Chains A and B, each alone.
Chain A
């Protein structure tokens, strides 16, 4: 079964500091997408960053970057210079290319301390 595991139910960080959220997944496929979604209190799911498995280079979007370790099936999210607006639930997700289902982890609640 395809699974996504986020081992940290909650994390907190001081404003302006850096925080890393962990995600591991289980698949026998070699070609797939990985995503991090943010869900603020407004509850809409917003895409933060995506990674294609065939690309070795880690994706980066402004203050957000990933550490993609394909052999280890690990896909962590690093948030640099944390801001109060980063406070949210963060979901790691994955889907196989050609398949339609997006498999989500259970989420990590991130708190930013001023």
Chain B
């Protein structure tokens, strides 16, 4: 299996622009997670899905953030409008229902100018 695949690896955009981050989880995994990593706050869970259904979005910072999972092999995290404080590395991760182990993608580094 190719592992969790994220795109883009790097994104530089200007404040106010829309940003879309993409994730393809490992085939057969039931859960998908979006994390944000910053120096100040470490790893923060933003939202997670079970069988494509959002279960807990309490970590989403504000209404500018939204996430979807239209099918078992694809998820997006969208920020609209983006702000400089959104600059971070965004990780997607997936896992099966049987173990607690998370498999992470390589992350998308977002810089908002």
B30 → chain A closest CB, angstroms: 10
CB-based contact A43/B43 at 8 Å: no
CB-based contact A45/B104 at 8 Å: yes
A101 → chain B closest CB, angstroms: 6
CB-based contact A100/B48 at 8 Å: yes
CB-based contact A100/B42 at 8 Å: no
CA distance A65 to B43 in the complex (A): 24
A86 → chain B closest CB, angstroms: 18
Residue of A nearest to B41 (CB): A106
Chain B binding surface, main DSSP class = strand
CB-based contact B101/A50 at 8 Å: yes
Residues of A within 8 A of B (CB): 32-33, 35, 37, 42-47, 50, 91, 95, 97, 100-102, 104-107
Question: Could you name 14 residue pairs across A and B whose Cβ atoms are closer than 8 Å?
Answer: A32-B100, A33-B99, A33-B100, A33-B101, A37-B104, A44-B104, A100-B48, A100-B55, A100-B56, A101-B48, A101-B56, A104-B42, A105-B42, A106-B42
Residues of B within 8 A of A (CB): 31, 33, 42-43, 45, 48, 50, 55-56, 89, 91, 93, 99-107, 109
Contacts A43-B109, A102-B100 known; 11 new A-B pairs at CB < 8 A: A32-B100, A33-B99, A35-B100, A43-B89, A44-B104, A44-B105, A45-B102, A100-B31, A100-B48, A101-B48, A101-B56
